[in-house]
Chain A
Amino acid sequence: MDFSELWGAVFNFQDYAELLPLVRNSLLAGAVLGLVGGMVGVFVMMRDLAFAVHGIAELSFAGAAFALLIGANVVFGSLAGSVVAALIIGFLGVRARDRNSIIGVVMPFGLGLGILFLSLYQGRSANKFGLLTGQIVAVDTVQLGLLTGCSVFVILALLAVWRPLTFASVDPELAEARGVPVGKLGIAFMFLLGLAVALSIQVVGALLVLALVITPAAAALRVASSPRLVVLLSVLFAMVSVVGGILLALGGRIPISPYVTTISFVIYLVCRLVGGWRQRRGLDRKAGPALPGVRVTAGVERQDPAPAAKTALRERPNP
């Protein structure tokens, strides 16, 4: 394959005007899924759940593979696997360390099951590959409806718990003191995360879910610190990645996931550069040092790991 053939396989805009109307529904669903991924991603970053997302995706893959094997609705299978995994992680892994080991245990088991079901499956091999790498263009109208309905549910539920969930995510101790049901919100969020992961899998596949749920939010956090702006940017980045990916993939014969992941990665790189530039220019501290000398003392405060121990030595009476 020479270069022009390769180029033609990756980017092909022949008959574009005729193709475009065919994917109108996919574009719409893609935009809604981008909205979900961008919103959920911000909380995933705040709660440090990136690894959990990966674990959930593998079990979601197993669920989808099982559905494929028995001829059931793949989206349902994927949702079921996802939610089960998310709730297991939510209930058993309250503390970060427990959580990571539980994910480490659940993830390979899920992936193994998925491979088992796919090996038993006798149908079209493109279907198998689609589970791992995304398939939204192949999704039929019924499933598109299901995807969009679930997405709307996740978005509305997130909006309903937005403030207390933010409080519980960034400042759990104080949130608890103020009566926020921190534990219950954690479980509720895992449920929504399970749904969101299953939905994202339909676009980019189980292996690449992080590109839709983590990368846009991580990019937004690089360039903004206002919570509203972070959410807006994260949603924008996720939508641009999905919709852009679908548009670029249209003419070629390659699945859309490489386009989606590449766009989202490029956005992240740009945001990192911009973020670094902002930091060097000191734009993040708009008003500069609050009090004369505060920045200096800040260093001292943090360099003193065991102040109590020091005083202990000092005040021991001399023998």
Chain B
Amino acid sequence: MSTPAASLQNASLSFGNRVLWHDLDLQINPGEFFAVLGPNGSGKTSLMRVLLGLQPLSHGTAQIDGRPVARGSRDIGYIPQQKSFAPGTPLRARDLVGLGVDGDRWGIRFRSRGFRRRVDELLEQVGATSYADAPVGLLSGGEQQRLRAAQALATDPKVLLCDEPLLSLDLHHQQAVSSLINRQCRVNGSAVVFVTHEINPVIEYVDRVLYLAGGQFRVGAPEEVMTTEVLSALYNSHVEVIRNKGRIVVLGLPDATTHHHGAGQDGEQ
């Protein structure tokens, strides 16, 4: 069997007395679309920080492509939540993508031609060529998120980490961005770890789900995990899961959480 793109062995994470998750064993394979779901505070973002090498585990080990996680690894592409740039930011779309290519290198840029070609390629890949020279501050959230995808793909990563990349995008851009991420997964064989509140916009792509809630977790195919029995057990209270035309609706989540599965409307969250 090939090396897993990302793996956790016996991993636990706690802050003081608060245990986010423990004894988590995961193997995410190349070309797999892996969704991470759960309410706020269940440790989804922390899991992402562990894989980025920014957050040490309390117990266990984490590996990327068979090697221990390391800060600044070029095997990882990261797409953060959409956050608008100030209108005066002195960057054009191509400069933002360029930072993904070599923004972590010291000094100033000298060899310009190869760099330019790479940036053009990436812009083309995410369909952003037409606004390549526009200032990032003037772009819409969806356009900016495409550039984020281009930045993340810049190093041809083994693992693509996406932290709620669709948040605050409209339906049209949600579809565009998620299909882009899926293409990287299927065509180039990157593993995708997709943290989200809302599974419906990506339900057709997801291979497996990790559901984190109340210090517990469940891993499996969406149809195994997203069921009334499993979620009720995780939340320790009755939760109703309804399937409708390929969409999943979760009703009756405990009030303490802000976890939502849109009622059949993947256009909004």
Contact = CB atoms under 8 A, between A and B. Distances in A.
B131 A179 contact: no
Contacts of A285: 131, 134, 138
Contacts of B151: 174
Nearest to B82: A301
B258 A287 contact: no
A290 B90 contact: no
B268 A163 contact: no
Interface string B159-173: 000000000111011
Interface string B77-90: 01010011100111
Contact of B265 (A159, A162, A221, A311): A311
Contacts of A290: 128, 130-131, 143
Given A179-B71, A179-B73, A308-B260, A225 B91 contact: yes
Prevailing SS type, chain B contact patch = loop
Interface string A163-179: 11011001101111111
Interface stretch (B2-10, B24-32, B95-103): B95-103
A160 interface: yes
B170 A163 contact: no
A284 interface: yes
Contact of B104 (A45, A175, A230, A314): A175
A287 B133 CA distance: 8
A166 to B, nearest CB: 7
Contacts of B262: 311, 314-315
B102 to A, nearest CB: 7
Contacts of A161: 106
- Chain B CB count within 10 A is highest, among A304, A310, A312, for A312
Contact of B54 (A164, A177, A225, A302): A177
A236 to B, nearest CB: 15
A177 B142 contact: no
A162 B108 contact: yes
A227 B148 CA distance: 18
A42 interface: yes
B92 interface: yes
Interface in A284-319: 284-288, 290-291, 293-295, 297-298, 300-302, 304, 307-308, 310-312, 314-315, 317
Nearest to A226: B92
B109 interface: yes
Nearest to B52: A177
A180 interface: yes
B138 A163 contact: no
B140 A295 contact: yes
Contacts of A295: 140
Contacts, number: 162
B73 to A, nearest CB: 7
A176 B104 CA distance: 9
Interface in B141-163: 141-143, 148, 151
A87 to B, nearest CB: 22
A224 B83 CA distance: 22
Contacts of B109: 163
B251 interface: yes
Contacts of A115: none
Given A301-B168, A301-B169, A310-B268, A45 B88 contact: yes
Contacts of B261: 315
A84 interface: no
Interface in A251-291: 284-288, 290-291
Nearest to A168: B103
Given A177-B52, A294-B143, A171 B138 contact: no
B72 interface: yes
Interface of A: 42, 45-46, 159-164, 166-167, 170-171, 173-180, 220-221, 224-227, 230, 284-288, 290-291, 293-295, 297-298, 300-302, 304, 307-308, 310-312, 314-315, 317
